[in-house]
Amino acid sequence: MIKLVYILIIVLSFPVLAATHIVCSDCHIGKVSKAVDMSERGDTIIIKSGTYTESLIEIDKPLTIIGKNLPKIKAKNGEKIFHIIADSVTITGLELMEVKRSFTEDRAAINIQGGNYINITDNVFTNTFFGIYIAKSTGTKIIRNRLTSKQKKEMNSANAIHAWSSKKLTVKDNYVEGHRDGLYFEFCDNSTIDNNRSYKNLRYGLHFMFSNNNKYRHNIFEENGAGVAVMYSHEIEMYRNKFLNNWGQASYGLLLKEIKDSKIHYNLFKGNTKGIYGESAIRINIFNNDFVQNGWAMQMMGSSEKDTISYNNFLQNTFNVSTNQNARNYNVYEKNYWSDYNGYDLDKDGIGDVPHRPVKFFSQVLGYTPEAIILLRSFFIELLNFIENIVPVLTPENLKDLQPMVKQLDNDTV
């Protein structure tokens, strides 16, 4: 009996024998698809540098695919390259290119359909329609990839990293440029999006739709059509991101539409047409952010309620706050620093003795007649702003910061 146990232990302690297959243009395996066909579960495929033209490669077993010195894989006829339906697949160190648009199919260089715990790391995507398309996946990690596309027109490009109906994703340290949306999440929960850079995408740098309990932190969104859109979602944590130079007529740093119970802490909004634009944004905490040199720092529409805006710095914005409400305001503005505050602090407690009204008469006028912007710096408008400040007619009477800070806060966002 004891002998049997010994044998059992010895047999069990052998590692699973996983084979390694090497692909190169003059090896006996000259195609990635051939190597995948030959592999068993858990095998490793090493692709040496070179250019490979491949038609659709379906991966239906756990595999590790490693590129040495960034081999190039071109999509034959512009179709998808990898289609993953198995769990635990790793793809690392490849350059994937030339996936073309189709009207009826969402083509991606790497297409994950239902596979869980997939790792896509250190790859380069050049002019792929969708870069990485994730559907019905849990625990997948997308790390240190670089996705660039040269499309000038929005409809010819798709999203760089597109996730749909997935959970617990990690999207970290990626660079995305020139796509429709840089990062896109629809029906995705409990995911983390950290440390990515999203640059010059045609629509949004990051886009959430119907996605709850997600975090995005330490990302930079620069010169996108609009920075980030969070729509029809709740419990989103937005921490230490930079929203820079999202400039244009219909452009925002951050668009909030039908969003609830979320936190916006320690972010930098600089040089945007509108820093934050909120419609039906409910119970949002906007704390410790810096709004610098935006057209409008915040535009909160009347449907936005129970929001708290505290400890933010509003520095050199053309307008700090505007709203389409002129009767009442349902949000709290408290203890912010306003660079255009001209009150005083006689008791020297660091809090201004006179409340500050961040909504200017003229910004309300612009809500009705945008063309009036040409009067922006006129003396008459300054006069009207002053009068409105004393006798509010067009601006909500109770929209005011009762405890404005006299010194700029150190939010350390830069």
Partner 1 sequence: MKKLINLIPILLLIVACSTEPQEIEYGAENCHFCTMTISDDRFASELVLTTGKAQKYCSIECMVRDVNRTESFTAEDVDNYYVIDMTTPKVLVPVSEVTFLVSEKIQSPMGANLAAFKEKSNAQQLKEEWDGVLYNWDELKTKFN
For binding to partner 1 (CB under 8 A), which residues are involved? 103-104, 106, 153-155, 164, 180, 186-187, 202-204, 209-210, 225-226, 229, 231, 248-250, 255, 257, 279
Nearer to partner 1, 250 or 372 (CB): 250
Which token pair is 352?
Answer: 């201004």
Question: Which position has the token pair 């002019």?
Answer: 127
Contact between residue 182 and residue 154 where contact means Cβ atoms under 8 Å apart: no
Nearer to partner 1, 103 or 380 (CB): 103
What gap in Å lies between CA 120 and CA 126, rounded to an integer?
A: 15
Work out how close the CB of 353 gets to partner 1 at its nearest, in angstroms, rounded to a whole number.
39
139, with CB counted inside 10 A (0-12, 13-18, 19+), is middle
CA 278 to chain centre: 17
Largest pairwise CA distance in the chain: 101
Work out how close the CB of 180 gets to partner 1 at its nearest, in angstroms, rounded to a whole number.
6
Work out how close the CB of 124 gets to partner 1 at its nearest, in angstroms, rounded to a whole number.
25
What gap in Å lies between CA 336 and CA 242, rounded to an integer?
A: 19
- In the Cβ-directed half-sphere of 68, how many Cα atoms lie within 13 Å? 10
What gap in Å lies between CA 369 and CA 247, rounded to an integer?
A: 20
Work out how close the CB of 369 gets to partner 1 at its nearest, in angstroms, rounded to a whole number.
18
Contact between residue 28 and residue 8 where contact means Cβ atoms under 8 Å apart: no
What gap in Å lies between CA 389 and CA 383, rounded to an integer?
A: 10
Nearer to partner 1, 279 or 382 (CB): 279
Nearer to partner 1, 36 or 112 (CB): 112
Nearer to partner 1, 258 or 345 (CB): 258
Work out how close the CB of 203 gets to partner 1 at its nearest, in angstroms, rounded to a whole number.
5
Work out how close the CB of 115 gets to partner 1 at its nearest, in angstroms, rounded to a whole number.
17
Nearer to partner 1, 181 or 307 (CB): 181
Work out how close the CB of 18 gets to partner 1 at its nearest, in angstroms, rounded to a whole number.
35
What gap in Å lies between CA 135 and CA 150, rounded to an integer?
A: 25
Which token pair is 179?
Answer: 């796509």
Nearer to partner 1, 30 or 248 (CB): 248
Judged by DSSP in three states, 350 sits in: coil
Nearer to partner 1, 92 or 165 (CB): 165
Work out how close the CB of 210 gets to partner 1 at its nearest, in angstroms, rounded to a whole number.
6
Work out how close the CB of 157 gets to partner 1 at its nearest, in angstroms, rounded to a whole number.
9
In this structure, what is the dihedral angle of CA atoms 378, 380, 385, 386, given to the nearest 10 degrees?
120
Nearer to partner 1, 120 or 226 (CB): 226
Nearer to partner 1, 173 or 279 (CB): 279
Work out how close the CB of 380 gets to partner 1 at its nearest, in angstroms, rounded to a whole number.
32
What gap in Å lies between CA 198 and CA 227, rounded to an integer?
A: 9
Give the Å distances, CA to CA, from 124 to 1, 45, 96, 162, 174.
56, 18, 6, 16, 10
Contact between residue 138 and residue 118 where contact means Cβ atoms under 8 Å apart: no
**Angle in degrees, 0-180, between the axes of helices 361-368 and 379-390, rounded to the nearest 10:** 110
